């Protein structure tokens, strides 16, 4: 349950990443299997700074999503406007 919540939360954050600047992080996240704790551990070890930066830009990011969010939705990335 906790891994699912972490994975879902990261999926929301990663959707706000810049598609060019953060392409390595996005590609690595797409390779993570939801219930593999070591995958999540090493992803966060490698990209925690980028995740924190995105959270600073969008402090109320989690308020816009329902708890029934499906992590298999397509990537919606950076907004250019």
pLDDT of residue 80: 46
pLDDT of residue 5: 82
Structure tokens at 69: 């969010």
pLDDT of residue 61: 72
Query: Nearest 5 degrees, angle CA 28-CA 74-CA 15?
Result: 60
pTM over 0.85? The answer is no
pLDDT of residue 69: 45
What does pLDDT average to in each consecutive run of 10 residues of the chain (81 residues)? 81 90 94 83 93 87 57 51 44
pLDDT of residue 77: 52
Give SS3 for 28: helix
């Amino acid at each position: 349950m906790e891994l699912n919540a972490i994975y879902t939360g990261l999926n929301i954050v990663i959707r706000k990443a810049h598609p060019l600047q953060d392409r390595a992080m996005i590609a690595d996240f797409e390779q993570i299997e939801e219930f593999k704790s070591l995958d999540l551990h090493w992803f966060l070890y490698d990209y925690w700074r980028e995740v924190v930066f995105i959270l600073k830009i969008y402090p109320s990011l989690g308020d816009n999503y329902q708890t029934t969010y499906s992590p298999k939705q397509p990537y919606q990335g950076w907004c250019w406007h």
